[in-house]
């Protein structure tokens, strides 16, 4: 199977790159080792669209963050991805004002609009900052987006525009001969003129497979609390402490889907699969949140989780290899990677288009059909939908008010949702208070029916089984 480009990795960077390339007369393929896109780093991202004031000036992080912030809001609108430009604040005590001014000066060099606010002005934006807070740095261009829905929407649009995606396809070998790359997985072998490494936590390993530059990689785990959506009314914007060398600090933020999150921590690790929360790390979140936010509601926690950031030096690595011709790297993408994704994709698109003299397709899908969500439609619209399809009248997930019709749509989307976790990321079924305790079995039944597979073949995600055998004989 021959392609112009192969993208390795189905996180938000890889799917954004695929989406951009699919708009050109190119034959493009994405290889993802998991059973869905957005299954590792992207699924655990905090979803903050950073303004760009925190990045060191004249770095790739600064350039791509600021440009990415401009592009992301347009992309989210076209893709019908939940987002909100709610701004952000970095809070400070009176004795920290000089640090706040230093941060503002850094932002000015990056071309980011910010304002230093006194306590009264801060309270007008976020009434629930801690009593010790006297100043804040306000960035109006910041906000929130659903990270996994953004990556999924990029993938869906890319498929509609002719791209191919192969899931459950870990890359096992990359060789170059006669000007073409041979990329092998455990299922098939593909050839391409250009390979683009967007493999996230496995980026350095993919480089090694290809014989490109070797990079020493470290990882940083971040633990989070997810707070029930009843607390959303108490958080108006993204609340940061002053950043440190370890990162942007433990934040308090609304999510694009209506919850609130506290976190992340910054725990150095050498394990590229270290996504297990720890008591010490979660305790650090408990101690730090009240320093910036006075309505901490840990008693409303519905879930804890951890994500992993990948670090290669102090900056992103986004360039063509100096060792291998037509091997492009987008690795070491830690924060602000989500915010930078559209700009990284734009940059790589220009490289590929220039190399292959590709021309835009005459007809491409840009604005995705709006998803109908029970939580967002009025009674008349719902009744009309039920008349056409009775599945709209059957609520499967009570916590998040998700109907059977929405789940069926996800299963038959351009990149089909074939696991319980894949359905969850697309519809939020299982993301509410009961965390799938009630709706999980029903979601499994719908997947089984729609895909025509036995119930015990329905997977949770990541290859994990749920139903192993029947405990009762049924007719």
- In sequence order, what are the beta bridge partners of 196? 7, 328
Ramachandran angles phi, psi of 464, nearest 5°: -75, 130
* DSSP labels, 211-271: T------EEEEEEEEEE-GGGGGG--SEEE---BTTBS--EEEE-TTS-EEEE---EEES-
Ramachandran angles phi, psi of 62, nearest 5°: -65, -50
3-state secondary structure of 145: strand
- Here the tokens at position 269 are 């690790």
Measured in Å, how far apart are the chain's first and last C-alpha atoms? 46
Residues 6+ apart with CB under 8 A from 277: 223, 304, 305, 306
Residue 52 and residue 145: Cα distance in Å, rounded? 16
Ramachandran angles phi, psi of 175, nearest 5°: -130, 155
Q: How many other C-beta atoms are found inside a 10 Å radius of the C-beta of residue 200?
A: 26
Residue 50 designated active-site = yes
| Residue tagged active-site, from 50, 314, 325, 412 | 50
Orientation of helix 60-79 relative to helix 337-356, angle to 10°: 90
Residue 214 and residue 28: Cα distance in Å, rounded? 26
Residue 56 and residue 311: Cα distance in Å, rounded? 15
Residue 246 and residue 265: Cα distance in Å, rounded? 9
- Side-chain half-sphere of 309: how many Cα atoms within 13 Å? 26
- In sequence order, what are the beta bridge partners of 138? 89, 115
Entry field: residues in the chain: 475
Classify each residue of 268-296 as buried b or exposed e, where b means 16 or more C-beta atoms within 10 Å of its C-beta.
Answer: eeeebebbebeeebbebbeebbebbbebb
Q: Please answer whether residues 335 and 302 qualify as being in contact, where contact means their C-beta atoms are separated by less than 8 angstroms.
A: no
Catalytic residues: 50
């Amino acid at each position: 199977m021959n392609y112009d480009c192969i993208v390795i990795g189905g996180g938000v960077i890889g799917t954004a790159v695929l989406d951009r390339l699919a708009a050109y007369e190119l034959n493009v393929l994405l290889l993802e080792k998991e059973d869905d896109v957005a299954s590792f780093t992207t699924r655990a991202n905090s979803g903050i669209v950073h303004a760009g004031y925190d990045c060191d000036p004249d770095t790739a992080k600064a350039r791509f963050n600021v440009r990415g912030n401009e592009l992301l809001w347009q992309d989210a609108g076209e893709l019908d991805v939940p987002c909100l430009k709610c701004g952000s604040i970095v809070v400070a005590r009176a004795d920290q004002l000089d640090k706040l001014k230093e941060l503002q000066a850094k932002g000015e060099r990056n071309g980011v609009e910010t304002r230093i606010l006194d306590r009264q002005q801060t309270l007008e934006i976020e009434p629930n900052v801690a009593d010790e807070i006297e100043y804040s740095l306000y960035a109006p261009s910041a906000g929130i987006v659903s990270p996994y829905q953004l990556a999924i929407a990029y993938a869906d649009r890319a498929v509609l525009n002719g791209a191919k995606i192969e899931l459950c396809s870990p890359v096992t070998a990359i060789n170059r001969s006669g000007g073409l790359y041979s990329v092998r997985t455990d299922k098939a072998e593909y050839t391409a003129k250009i390979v683009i490494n967007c493999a996230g936590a496995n980026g350095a390993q993919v480089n090694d497979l290809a014989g490109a530059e070797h990079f020493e990689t470290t990882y940083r785990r971040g633990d989070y609390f997810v707070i029930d959506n009843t607390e959303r009314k108490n958080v108006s914007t993204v609340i940061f402490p002053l950043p440190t060398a370890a990162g942007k600090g433990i934040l308090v933020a609304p999510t694009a889907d209506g919850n609130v999150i506290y976190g992340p921590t910054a725990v150095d690790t050498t394990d590229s699969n270290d996504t297990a929360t720890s008591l010490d790390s979660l305790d650090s979140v408990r101690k730090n949140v009240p320093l910036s936010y006075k309505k901490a509601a840990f008693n409303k926690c519905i879930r804890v989780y951890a994500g992993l950031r990948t670090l290669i030096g102090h900056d992103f690595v986004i360039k063509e290899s100096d060792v291998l011709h037509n091997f492009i790297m987008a690795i070491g993408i830690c924060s602000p990677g989500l915010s930078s994704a559209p700009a990284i994709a734009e940059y790589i698109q220009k490289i590929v288009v220039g190399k292959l003299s590709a021309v835009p397709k005459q007809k491409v899908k840009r604005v995705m059909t709006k998803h109908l969500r029970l939580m967002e439609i009025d009674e008349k619209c719902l009744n009309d939908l039920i008349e056409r399809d009775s599945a709209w009248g059957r609520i499967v997930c009570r916590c998040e008010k998700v109907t059977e019709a929405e789940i069926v749509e996800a299963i038959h989307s351009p990149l089909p949702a074939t696991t319980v976790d894949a359905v969850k990321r697309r519809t939020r079924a299982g993301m509410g208070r009961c965390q799938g305790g009630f709706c999980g079995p029903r979601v499994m039944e719908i997947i089984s029916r729609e895909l025509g597979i036995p119930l015990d073949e329905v997977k949770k995600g990541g290859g994990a089984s749920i139903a192993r055998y029947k405990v009762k004989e049924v007719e």
